[in-house]
Chain A
Amino acid sequence: KNQVEQSPQSLIILEGKNCTLQCNYTVSPFSNLRWYKQDTGRGPVSLTIMTFSENTKSNGRYTATLDADTKQSSLHITASQLSDSASYICVVGTSYDKVIFGPGTSLSVIP
């Protein structure tokens, strides 16, 4: 069964600190992996997208990694800001144009 799991479910960090969010997937056939940021009350916004041959992708203070062998991805946030408080959703796309959403990690950055 195609599934995407994320950990931790929620996270609280101090402003300025770094953090790493995890995504494990069992999706086949794999096509791509995306990380989305969803602010409260807003629609998700794409942060990064990686295909099978890419193992890292950066977008400002966000760096995503992909290990297609172990089927794991991480999203690293550097020097967190209050505006990083949001839900971060890992999404895996298949070769058949299906996308499977993870449940998200809720991040709270506190001053």
Chain B
Amino acid sequence: EAGVVQSPRYKIIEKKQPVAFWCNPISGHNTLYWYRQNLGQGPELLIRYENEEAVDDSQLPKDRFSAERLKGVDSTLKIQPAELGDSAVYLCASSWRNTIYFGEGSWLTVV
């Protein structure tokens, strides 16, 4: 069974440019999360979806970040425009019965 799939794995962009990350959760998992993880720290929740509804986006910087999960399956996280401080790993995860399954992450470097 495929795990949580994310792309791209690595992205280097100049500041003020846009970037988008894609995530396909494990089949059948209704809950999808986007996390941001800085080096040496634990993941921080950006947004949580239950099917296509964003049920917790309180930590999402809405001035530059947006996310969508239109059909309740795969999801896209966008940053526009990117800032130097956005350099981090963006982890997508889905959950089933209290266990969260993470993707490998999308590593973003903003230069």
Contact = CB atoms under 8 A, between A and B. Distances in A.
A101 B43 contact: yes
A104 B41 contact: yes
Contact of A43 (B42, B91, B98): B91
Interface residues of A, number: 23
A77 interface: no
Interface residues of B, number: 20
Interface string B97-111: 011111111010000
A68 interface: no
Given A43-B93, A104-B42, 11 more contacts: A41-B104, A41-B105, A42-B105, A43-B4, A46-B99, A98-B56, A99-B100, A101-B42, A101-B43, A102-B42, A103-B40
A103 B43 CA distance: 8
B54 interface: no
A101 B98 CA distance: 14
A44 B103 CA distance: 8
Contacts, number: 49
A36 B42 CA distance: 11
Given A49-B98, A49-B99, A93-B98, A42 B44 contact: no
Interface in B6-23: none
A106 B40 contact: yes
B97 to A, nearest CB: 9
A98 B35 CA distance: 13
Interface in B38-59: 40-45, 48, 56
Nearest to A46: B99
A64 interface: no
Given A99-B45, A102-B42, A106-B40, A43 B104 contact: yes
